[in-house]
Amino acid sequence: MVVRVPDRRLAVPEIDTYRFAVFCCSFKFDLGSTPDHALALFADAGMAQRYGAWMWPSTYEVVDVVTGKPVGNLTVKGAA
């Protein structure tokens, strides 16, 4: 599969570089019945964890899409 971008000034995302996917996990509150899609990709696991904790503190999950394994999520004070 070839990924194309609309402008030559935009770099084509590389899955080996942006390997940490953040999921909101709406299913944990019975808010969705279909599989969740990754809502953001990051090159750094720590940044992915901080973003997930900021957006969805009690439900998010970060997955390394290269290995398919979950990345340990941050513990957020005050999160349910």
- Do the domain assignments include residue 76? no
Q: Give the predicted TM-score (pTM) of the model.
A: 0.76
What average pLDDT does range 21-30 have in this prediction? 88
**What's the average model confidence in pLDDT over 66-79?**
72
* Mean pLDDT value of segment 30-57: 90
Q: Is the pLDDT of residue 33 over 80?
A: no
Give the least confident one: 32-41, 56-65, 69-78: 69-78
DSSP 57-76: TTT-EEEETTTTEEEPPPP-
Task: Report if residue 65 sits inside a domain.
Answer: yes
Boundaries of domain holding 29? 20-71
| Residue 25 backbone class (left: φ over 0; alpha: ψ -120 to 50; beta: rest) | left
Q: From its phi and psi, is residue 53 left (phi > 0), alpha (psi between -120 and 50) or beta? A: alpha
- Residue 1, domain member (yes or no): no
Domain count, the chain: 1
Q: Considering the domain boundaries, does residue 59 fall inside one?
A: yes
In a domain, 9, yes or no: no
